[in-house]
Amino acid sequence: MKTIDSGFIFLLVSLFSLSISSSVINPKYGRSTSFMPRFPSSSMVAEPEQQLSVSSTKKQLYRTKYFTQILDHFNYNPHSYQTFQQRYLINDTFWGGTENEKIKNAPIFVYTGNEGDIEWFTQNTGFMFETAPHFKALLVFIEHRFYGKSIPFGGDKEIAYSNATTLGYLSSTQALADYATLIIDLKKNLSAIDSPVVLFGGSYGGMLAAWFRLKYPHVAIGALASSAPILNFENITSPYSFNNIITQDFRNESENCYKVIKGSWQHIEDTADKPGGLELLRKSFKICKNYISAGSLAGWLYTAYVYTAMTDYPTPSNFLSPLPAYPVKQMCKAIDDRNVNGNDIFAKLYGAANVYYNSSGTATCFDLDDDSDPHGLGEWSWQACTEMIMATSGNNKESMFPASKYDYNDRATFCKSMFDIEPRPNWITTQFGGHDIKRVLKRFASNIIFFNGLRDPWSGGGVLKNISSSIIAIVAEEGAHHVDLRYSSREDPKWLQDVRKSEVKIIENWISQYYYDLGT
């Protein structure tokens, strides 16, 4: 991947994830620069078992299948008829089938795959597995084209990712058409034509679930769109919202914690500019000896704060990185504890960073030059350069990050350099809507649940109020990024248990109404 400047570090603010756009904290210039993101690895040298790995989880959750998918659903030139193998995962353990004694046409729950390996998302979507027995549902998880093992052009990534000619087939509209085609074919093969389909998705996958329901209402009867920032386009949501929410997460935990982080960027810059300053920073943060700069160190810290805020779950997690319960609180605890770090600002920041990067305590050093992509999210850069123009990098004076203005031209310049293309910032709202969403969707849409946790920085672009009696917004003040889709735990707070119960009840009503209309 090309870089704009050696002082910049590429970060992904997602997903999982939606990871849509990001910014680089560059203390030297006191601003944030929009750019094309990539997924940050653990960025540390540690024992192998500490590295996140798809292969380390239980494969018995699903069986892997492939569907012969058409390359281009919207044109009829010769290239359009090329095909590729699209991976999907299936679990029929609890499925009632089509002719069960108690229920006919048992439902099919479909996860609309995100911008990465479908196994990773499947293994972090326990809600579907836990509710399948109750609904006697078939579970299907479909991988997004150009990610994981669903690679067009013979599965050859070098060809598929080579240039705009091949990457041009990577888009949300093509992906939705993939899902519709696969679902319809699967239902025919299973003799389940009348089985209702309910969609599930989190982050970008949640956006796809909501958009699918709007575009293909004849294929799916409803959608649970968790942490889906469908309003984060074309000036609908402020570019300051994302980082403002992160700032508020930390400030709510501790005013001192907020102030220390806010003042740290200048301190890092000042130290780096002094003779021997970079070596002092290297030693203070245990950075590996291969590479260090003030900008890369600041970006490394920024990544930890952003992802910790996104996954500020009430129970321990292992989604982006192994984290304790309420990791923002743990970060601020490390910063505020004078008995451990005294007045050493770098020691405080190092302690906070360890919450995200080194929960096991086994890291020997942290690699700022690590460009690995453990979950195959790299091609999001193409989508973020074409249609997914989501402004998130603005910082006002109260932000814990350096004050900056969002500048679309930064994104456009990078995309021109990276792919020799011009972004289309208005396409998503043209294709799926977003402006005056309550007025518009109230007229024709139905059966969508929008869940948002207000600790999640992406919630600023989410649907936070009911649109109609069947387009429901569930908002959790203490919730983080698609926390409702995670596996449940005995330690889950009551509010989270209530969220899941509400979602189950709404889906029950959708399915009951479908059966009533079907006459079964």
Of 340, 358, 376, which residue constitutes the final position of a domain? Answer: 358
- Which residues are designated catalytic? 203, 456, 481
Please report whether residue 56 resides in a domain.
no
Do 309 and 329 form a contact (C-beta atoms < 8 A)? no
Please report whether residue 10 resides in a domain.
no
Q: Give the DSSP per-residue string, 335-361.
A: HH-HHHHTT-HHHHHHHHHHHHH-TTS
Q: What is the CATH number of the domain that holds 442?
A: 3.40.50.1820
Please report whether residue 31 resides in a domain.
no
Please report whether residue 431 resides in a domain.
yes
Which tokens go with 498? 């209530």
Give the distance from CA 60 to its chain's centroid.
25
Strand partners, 23: 34
pLDDT for res 18: 30
Domain match, 223 and 266 both: no
Domain match, 493 and 511 both: yes
Per-residue CA distances from 355 to 248, 305, 309, 359, 386 (Å):
19, 10, 12, 5, 35
H/E element holding 82? none
**What domain count does the chain have?**
2
CA distance 156 to 261: 44
What amino acid is encoded at 45 in this protein? V
Q: 351: domain range?
A: 240-358
Please report whether residue 408 resides in a domain.
no
List, run by run, the mean pLDDT of 10-residue segments along the chain (520 residues). 26 33 36 33 32 44 97 96 98 85 82 96 96 97 98 96 96 98 97 96 98 98 98 96 98 97 97 96 95 95 96 93 96 90 89 93 90 83 96 95 94 94 96 94 95 98 97 98 97 98 98 90
Please report whether residue 442 resides in a domain.
yes
pLDDT per residue as tens digits for the range 189-224: 999 999 999 999 999 999 999 999 999 999 999 999
CA distance 451 to 63: 29
Domain match, 250 and 220 both: no
Of 343, 358, 373, which residue constitutes the final position of a domain? Answer: 358
Do 116 and 48 form a contact (C-beta atoms < 8 A)? no
Q: Is 436 helix (H, G, I), strand (E, B) or coil?
A: strand
Per-residue CA distances from 137 to 12, 128, 321, 333, 403 (Å):
34, 9, 30, 43, 49
Of 322, 343, 358, which residue constitutes the final position of a domain? Answer: 358
Domain match, 202 and 272 both: no
CA distance 253 to 246: 11
pLDDT for res 23: 38
User: Nearest CA to 368 among 302, 284, 306, 287?
Assistant: 287
Q: What is the CATH number of the domain that holds 307?
A: 1.20.120.980
Domain match, 196 and 81 both: yes
pLDDT per residue as tens digits for the range 426-435: 999 999 999 9
Please report whether residue 413 resides in a domain.
no
